[in-house]
Amino acid sequence: MSSSSGSDRLMPKASTINRLQASIRALLKPLIACLVIAGLVKMASLGEYADPQAVEQWLTAQGVLGWPLLVVSGVLLMLVGFPRQIVAFIGGGLLGVTAGTLLSTAMAAIACATTFMISRYFLQAWVRRRFPGVIAKLHPLLAGKPYTATLAIRLLPIGSNALTNIVAGASTIKGRAFVSASALGYVPQMLTFALMGQGMEQMSSWQISVSLSLLVCSVLLGAHLYRWYQQQPVSTV
């Protein structure tokens, strides 16, 4: 009798929580859309957005708000699939290889974590209905050895970065493993494009060779990790 009354007391709470989540989802979608549109408008004012010189002029025109606007706009754009390689290219042109790589990788990791969390806590049911085929293929891959599998996926320049983040959020993979492996897997490509963004004319032949070799090696490493992963028994790492 007491357990029944306890269940009755819990039902209104569960109903309230469900309504609250539905309300948050309803508010979140237009908010994200507005933020992305704002980011697109800001980035559109750059003209040739992949040209670091044009970006630098835009930063100067924005004054003290330049860098915060650029970082926020870049993260928002990557939320919806904007190529992170272009962000690294711009970062390399503005800040040099080291700082450009670090900043662009951090921005990509923030975008990855944000998309993952939104998908997991607000869009999980919708994502599972909308992308059942993708989830059916990707979930078994990520569930067994999440860190290794995610690292392999990030090192291979294939697939949609944003879609991978969304589907991973709708799966049962641990967020910490997914985001940390993603950040590490981003580094080779970000470093390569930051080198290019610094200016091909400023790069020596060995720097060009190193950047291209790094990209090739990262792809080969990703392929090797993927093959190794497929041969392993299912367990958690």
- Whether 116 has a pLDDT exceeding 80, the answer reads yes
Mean pLDDT of 140-151: 79
Of 3-7, 59-63, 205-209, where does mean pLDDT reach its minimum?
3-7
Position 186 scores a pLDDT of: 93
Chain centroid to Cα 110, Å, comes to: 7
Task: Return all residues near 113 (Cβ < 8 A) that are at least 6 apart.
Answer: 175, 179
Query: What is the CB-side half-sphere exposure of residue 117 using CA atoms within 13 A?
Result: 9
Position 231 scores a pLDDT of: 62
Phi and psi, residue 173, nearest 5°: -65, 145
Q: How many CB atoms lie within 10 A of CB 146?
A: 23
Structure tokens given for 30? 């237009």
Give the dihedral sign, CA 121/126/127/133: positive
Greatest CA separation found in the chain? 80
Secondary structure class of 80 (helix, strand, coil): coil
* Residue 154: exposure state from Cβ atoms within 10 A (0-12, 13-18, ≥19): buried
Position 236 scores a pLDDT of: 42
Encode pLDDT of 34-66 as tens digits: 555 444 444 444 445 556 777 888 888 888 888
Q: pTM here? A: 0.70
